Amino acid sequence: MAIVLKNCSNKNAARLIRASAVILLLVFASAASSRSPSPQSSQSSNPKSPPETGVTVPNRPVAPLYKGEQGPQHSEIEFTPSTRMVTIKFHIEDPNGYFLPNIRRDNFAVYEDGVRQKNVSVEVEHSPVSVALLMELGGRYHELNKVLGEEVPRAGRQLLELIGPDDKIAVFKYDAKLQPLADFDQAHDALHRIFDQLTTPAFSETNFYDALVETLNRMKGVRARKAIILISTGVDTFSKTTYQEVLQAARECATPIYVIGLGSTMKLESAVYGEAAPFARIDWAGAEKQLEALANASGGRAYELESTLAVSGIYDDIMENLRLRYVVTYVSSNPAISGPPRNIRVELIDPTTGKALKIRDSAGKIITASVFVQQTYSPGGTSGN
C-alpha cells in the first residue's frame, strides 16, 4: 500500500502517516484473524454421532379392508439338527394389517435364549397356497336363495383369477350338508365349469357349523401354506355342532379362515319384502359378529361384501396376507441338537444406533410394526403357532 502526500505541512504530514499506519495494522490483524480457526470452529469440526436412519413404506390405504379384530398370525420355526440351522417364517404388518416391505437384513436382531445370533439371513417368501373355498348355497327361503345363487358363484369365480400354477384349490358348497365339488388335485382349467353349474335348492336347512367343522377336519392333512375362504351369511338353522364347538375348532385348526360375509347383501334384500316377510327378523348383525369371531380365532380375517365389485380387492388382501412372510435363517449358537424349548425374540433395529427401527409411511408419519413370532421352539423339528 503506497501513501502519496501532496501540498501538506510537516505536522499534517506526520498525522497522516500515523493514521495510515494504524489502518494498515487493523487490516493485517483482520486478515490474520480470518485465517486462524476459532475455538468454536475447532470444536464444531469434531465428529458427530451417526444420524438415525429408518424405513419408508409404500403408500397404503388408511384403514384395513377387514372388519373387527385380526387374530394372531401363524408363524413357523424349523430346526435342522445336522446343521443347527433355524428357519423362522413370520408376518410383519403395519397397524392396518398390510405387509411391511423394505425391511433389510441388518434391521433384524434375532435372540435365542437371550443371545443375539450372528450371520442372520433374511428373505421374503412368496409361497404357493392351498385354499379350500367354502360357499353357502341354500336355505329355508326361496327369495334369499335366489340372491345366493346369483352372488355366490360370481364371487367364487373371481378367486380363480388369483390362483397361480403352483397353487391348489378345493371347492365345497353347503346347504343341509357339505358337498365337495373339486379336490386339491383338480386341474385349474376345469374349475370354471363348476361355477357354471352351481344352483340353489328351493328349500333346505343351512347347517353352517357342521359344514365348517367338516371342512376344517379335511384341512388337517394339508401340509402346505393353507387357508379356508368362506362365503357365507353366517346363519345356521339346524347343525348338530354348536357355535362354541365350531369356535373351539377354529382356534385349534392351524388353518386361517378368511370370511366374506353376505349379511349386508341379504339385509338389503330382506328389506324389499318388508316386516311381514318370514325372514325379516333374522339377526344378520349377530351372524356377522360370529363370523368375525371365527376368523379372529383362526388367525384369519372377516370382510363384509357390500358389492361384488369389492371382491377382487378382498381377494388381493387375503392373498397378500396368506402368501407373504419374512424368512429368517441362522445357525444356532447353542451347540446342543436337542433339549428343552428355546426362547425366541425378533427385534427391528436401526443398525447405525442399535435403537428401535423407525418405520414411516409415505407421508413421513412414524407407524408401529407388529411382528408375529412365536416365543419358543423345540429343537426337535418344525413347530408353529
C-alpha to C-alpha distance for 134 and 131, rounded to whole angstroms: 9
> Which has more pLDDT, 279 or 309?
279
Q: How confident is the model at residue 48 (pLDDT cuts 50, 70, 90)?
A: low
Q: What is the pLDDT of residue 52?
A: 64
Strand order in the sheet with 115-116: 115-116, 108-112, 342-348, 376-377
C-alpha to C-alpha distance for 12 and 15, rounded to whole angstroms: 5
Contact (CB, 8 A) for 103 and 367: no
pLDDT for residue 39 is more than 90: no
Q: Which residues pair with 135 in a beta bridge?
A: 173, 231
Q: How confident is the model at residue 12 (pLDDT cuts 50, 70, 90)?
A: very low
C-alpha to C-alpha distance for 32 and 382, rounded to whole angstroms: 74
Average pLDDT over residues 165-185: 97
Contact (CB, 8 A) for 116 and 109: yes
What's the Cα-to-Cα distance from 300 to each of 68, 213, 255, 297, 314, rounded to whole Å? Answer: 11, 16, 8, 8, 13
All three cell numbers of 101: 416391505
pLDDT for residue 22 is more than 50: no
> Which has more pLDDT, 227 or 47?
227
Q: What is the pLDDT of residue 133?
A: 98
Contact (CB, 8 A) for 295 and 302: yes
Tens digits of residue pLDDT in 61-93: 889 999 988 888 999 999 999 999 999 999 999
Q: Which of 197, 203, 78, 51 is nearest to 140 (CA)?
A: 203
Give the helix/strand (H/E) hosting 353: none
Tens digits of residue pLDDT in 90-109: 999 999 999 999 999 999 99
CA angle 183, 186, 190 (to 5 degrees): 125
Q: Which distant-in-sequence residues (6+ apart) come within 8 Å of 34 by Cβ? A: none
Tens digits of residue pLDDT in 109-143: 999 999 999 999 999 999 999 999 999 999 999 99
290 three-state secondary structure: helix
C-alpha to C-alpha distance for 130 and 321, rounded to whole angstroms: 14
Q: How confident is the model at residue 306 (pLDDT cuts 50, 70, 90)?
A: confident
- In order of start, what are the domains of the chain with their CATH numbers? 64-385 (3.40.50.410)
C-alpha to C-alpha distance for 66 and 38, rounded to whole angstroms: 62
Tens digits of residue pLDDT in 193-212: 999 999 999 899 999 999 99
**Cβ-count burial 27-40 (b if 16+ within 10 Å, e if not):** eeeeeeeeeeeeee
DSSP letter assigned to residue 366: E
The chain-wide mean pLDDT, for the chain, equals: 88
> Which has more pLDDT, 73 or 383?
73
Which amino acid makes up residue 180?
P
